[in-house]
Amino acid sequence: MSGVLIHLPPEGDEGPVTLRLGPGDVARFGRGSDSTPVELRLSDPAVSRLAGEIRVTDDHWQLSNYSSTHSYLVENPEGAGEYLRVPPRRVGAPIPFEFARVLLPTRGSTVGFQVFAPDHVYLDPDSIGGRWGTQTLTAYSLDETAAYFLVLVALCEPRLRDESAVAVPTTPQVVERLRNHPEYGQLTARAVSSHIDYLAEEKLRIEAPATPEPGQGARRNGKREAVVGLALRFGLVREEHLSLLPSRSAGRVGTAGTAGASGPVWSR
């Protein structure tokens, strides 16, 4: 595990905060003050000045709850209501989720932030049960039950169904293709764009071109092309994965969708 990505959504006049932590790094969160600096500032008055911290280890990340009265929740947005409760004064609780939402109670609803742990690794299936030596790890660690993988399948679908050179679907087309999915039918264009960014930058580790094409649309189109090209060349998405998509009769690929704003969003 090479690290985690933490995203704090914009709040009030404060813009979004994104942190990248490597093994051994620590990020503290809370209301903060001049004498108590924090990397993730949560301005709600019900949040302690120093509410807790995230620590990254070699193969997972840990959450410490410094509150003496309140538990924190760690949700798995990709699971069916799966969550962990971290009780008051708990130090170093290991978090197993690849994508997690940390929530702190307030007098209103909750405040929180998202944590991506993109480098979960898996053993080569051929080595299991064999002699133990230096283990072979999977080059691309993809969770086929995750929303980002469903987005990847939707991007690859036209080329899997037709051997000719077909244009990669646009973000609005992916939104429309998934609209009738029982679990992910509410994905927005901004959420789909964020999943594409996550696939390109964290899961597939596609390097940006030295001289990017002019215009945001051109850059995003190039990123989608690169993601689809790599996924198909290495067989990360195959014909059998098309069964993950909703029936094509339920919604047509290519109908117009709402593109929404172009900035990154870290929740679906």
Q: Which of 93, 116, 139 is the last residue of a domain?
A: 116
Q: How confident is the model at residue 171 (pLDDT cuts 50, 70, 90)?
A: very high
Closest Cα to residue 184, out of 133, 232, 229, 251?
251
CATH number at residue 82: 2.60.200.20
Domain-embedded: residue 123: no
**Total domains in the fold of the chain:** 2
Ranges of H-type helices in the chain: 147-161, 171-177, 189-198, 216-233
* CB contact at 8 A, 112 and 104: yes
165 with 226, same domain: the answer is: yes
Domain-embedded: residue 260: no
What pLDDT is stored for residue 110 in this prediction? 82
What pLDDT is stored for residue 211 in this prediction? 45
152 with 235, same domain: the answer is: yes
What is the Cα–Cα distance from 169 to 201, expressed in whole angstroms? 19
Domain-embedded: residue 154: yes
**Span 180-209, mean pLDDT?**
85
97 with 8, same domain: the answer is: yes
Q: 201-225 burial, b for 16+ CB within 10 Å, e for fewer?
A: ebbbebeeeeeeeeeeeeebbbbbe
Q: How confident is the model at residue 135 (pLDDT cuts 50, 70, 90)?
A: low
162 with 112, same domain: the answer is: no
pLDDT at 261 exceeding the cut of 90: no
Highest mean pLDDT among 97-101, 133-137, 139-143, 263-267: 97-101
What pLDDT is stored for residue 253 in this prediction? 43
Range of 223's domain?
Answer: 147-250
